[in-house]
């Protein structure tokens, strides 16, 4: 029973729950980006480049099996060895967009963290004795060098 209780305590800690929510939202965001790339960005680019469907671009390593086939799905049905570089271009574009969005998010979170806690000047650890000019701790009430009585530190 100890192990089950330990696992439950681990699973309901704040960081684990935050991470789980992040993974779920990240997966959903990835689907949105994939749809945006394949359904919104790539069709106009393909149209500009002469009605090319990037998701159907492939290189056949078995030209006899795929002779005359122009669809990636049909080429896969033949069982031919193919290099689907069009799909790869879409995935690279998906990754680039997600990575850029994560970069922007991390940058904004860091900016919020830095602006939330303004830097306060560090308190001086030492000061000079007004009598002998030697360095002493800032909270000292008596100089360790000349033994002069000092005024309370401000």
**127 vs 148: CA distance, rounded Å:** 14
**Confidence (pLDDT) at 4:** 85
Which residues in 17-123 belong to E strands, given as ranges?
59-60, 82-83
**Confidence (pLDDT) at 20:** 81
Annotated domain spans of the chain: 2-120, 123-154
Q: Does domain 2-120 have CATH number 3.40.50.150?
A: no
Residue 83, SS3? strand
Task: Kindly state the average pLDDT of the residues 130-136.
Answer: 89
Q: What is the percent of the chain with per-residue pLDDT over 70, rounded to a whole number?
A: 93
pLDDT exceeds 70 at position 118: no
Q: Model confidence over 21-77: pLDDT tens digits?
A: 888 888 898 899 889 888 898 889 889 988 888 888 899 898 888 888 888 888 888
pLDDT exceeds 80 at position 9: no
Confidence class for position 111, pLDDT limits 50, 70, 90? confident
Task: Kindly state the average pLDDT of the residues 123-144.
Answer: 87
**Confidence (pLDDT) at 101:** 86
Task: Kindly state the average pLDDT of the residues 111-122.
Answer: 71
pLDDT exceeds 70 at position 122: no
**Confidence (pLDDT) at 116:** 67
């Amino acid at each position: 029973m100890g192990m089950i209780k330990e696992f439950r305590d681990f699973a309901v800690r704040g960081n684990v729950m935050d991470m789980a929510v992040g993974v779920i939202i990240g997966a959903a965001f990835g689907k949105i980006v994939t749809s945006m790339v394949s359904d919104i960005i790539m069709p106009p680019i393909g149209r500009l480049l002469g009605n090319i469907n990037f998701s159907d671009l492939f290189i056949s390593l078995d030209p006899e099996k795929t002779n005359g086939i122009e669809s990636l799905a049909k080429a896969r049905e033949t069982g031919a060895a193919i290099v689907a570089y069009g799909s790869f271009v879409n995935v690279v574009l998906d990754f680039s967009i997600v990575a850029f969005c994560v970069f922007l998010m991390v940058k904004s979170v860091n900016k919020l963290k830095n602006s939330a806690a303004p830097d306060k000047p560090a308190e001086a650890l030492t000061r000079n004795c007004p009598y002998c000019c030697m360095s002493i701790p800032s909270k000292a009430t008596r100089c360790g060098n000349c033994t002069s009585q000092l005024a309370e530190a401000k």
